[in-house]
Amino acid sequence: MRFDPLYLNHAIAALDQTSALQQQLTNELSSGKRVNVPGDDPVAVGQNVLLSAQLQMNDSFSQTESSLVGRMQVTDSTLGSVVSQLTQAVSLATQGNNGTLNASDLKSIANELAGIRDEIVSLANTTYMGTYLFSGSQGNTAPFSLDTSVSPNTVSYNGDSVISYVVTPDGQQIQVNLPGNTIFNDSANDVLGILNNLIAEFSSGSSSAASQADATALGNALNYVSQQRVVLDNSITRLQAAQSYTQTQAAQMTAVQTDLMQTDMAQVSTQLSTAETQQSALIQVVNLLEKNNGDLFSLL
């Protein structure tokens, strides 16, 4: 019979390996983690680092998105109020140009338009959490100031034209603000300038070709503001869709991370039971061999 003269040494080595495996499996069960140190599974550790970085990016975007959507919804509501005010102003301007009103009536319309103008200036200076909505990147600066010392009155813009964007985790770039000069005193649709002209024209007590032209221009400006509101609404929709996708992706990545790093309790329990059985058998073999000085024949 041929036999390995180092059988005892191999049996002891096998026992050590089984004992180490048993300790590893015991640690997994007690910690609930399959990977406790990088050496347990370097590949899994690397994948886990990448997943954690992506999850952190998603979480940061989710927090930013919530704040931005809240701000943008207030902006949208504010523009809704502006549209309502302008709709009323267009109606008054049309009425003032119908040729049936006397000087007193026209001056009354001028006063009503002045009230609407003042309300729109106030809306244009709306703040959200202490920051002006329509100042571009100059959030600490009130964007509009009214000067009634001249006729027609003037409104000055004190912000800038910076358009801000947010980049989603999947690389989309979404506009998140509307600078006030692009809404209220755009060169082609100067809402506040047109209103000031109409106020001055009707305050004279008569309508004219100029007031008729300005009434038409005010209608165009109303449409323009509505179009800018659509731009904002589209951005809100895109942000909310990106948030939904990010949350779904985060849930999927968390599940992958859990499978990657957490212990499968049932599987590890079975492996531990097998290791304990193997350890018990090896201990018996090693004890028998040690008693017989490694002589296999004496055990036959």
- Give percent of the chain with pLDDT exceeding 70: 70
For the stretch 220-263, pLDDT in tens is 999 999 999 999 999 999 998 888 877 787 777 777 767 666 65
List the one residue out of 225, 187, 189 whose CA is nearest residue 75.
225
Burial of 65 (0-12, 13-18, 19+ CB in 10 A): buried
Q: What is the pLDDT of residue 3?
A: 46
Q: Nearest CA to 222 among 137, 96, 116, 69? A: 116
Does residue 95 carry a pLDDT above 50? yes
Q: Among 39-43, 146-150, 275-279, which range has the highest average pLDDT?
A: 146-150
Cα dist from 196 to 79, 113, 150, whole Å: 19, 8, 10
pLDDT value at residue 161:
96
Q: In whole angstroms, give the CA distance from residue 141 to residue 34.
A: 55
Q: Assign 123 a pLDDT band (cuts: 50, 70, 90).
A: very high
Closest to 110 (Cα-Cα) out of 148, 157, 81, 156 = 148
Look up the pTM and report it.
Answer: 0.71
- pLDDT-based confidence at residue 93 (cuts at 50, 70, 90): very high
Better-predicted residue by pLDDT, 202 or 283: 202
User: Domain 50-255 in CATH: superfamily?
Assistant: f41 fragment of flagellin, N-terminal domain (1.20.1330.10)
Report the alpha-carbon angle 170-77-231, nearest 5.
Answer: 45
Contacts of 168 by beta carbon, 8 Å cutoff, 6+ apart = 61, 174, 239, 242, 246
Domain layout of the chain by residue ranges: 50-255, 266-295
Based on the number of CB atoms within 10 Å of its own CB, is 58 exposed (0-12), middle (13-18) or buried (19 or more)? buried
Please give the single-letter amino acid code of residue 33: K
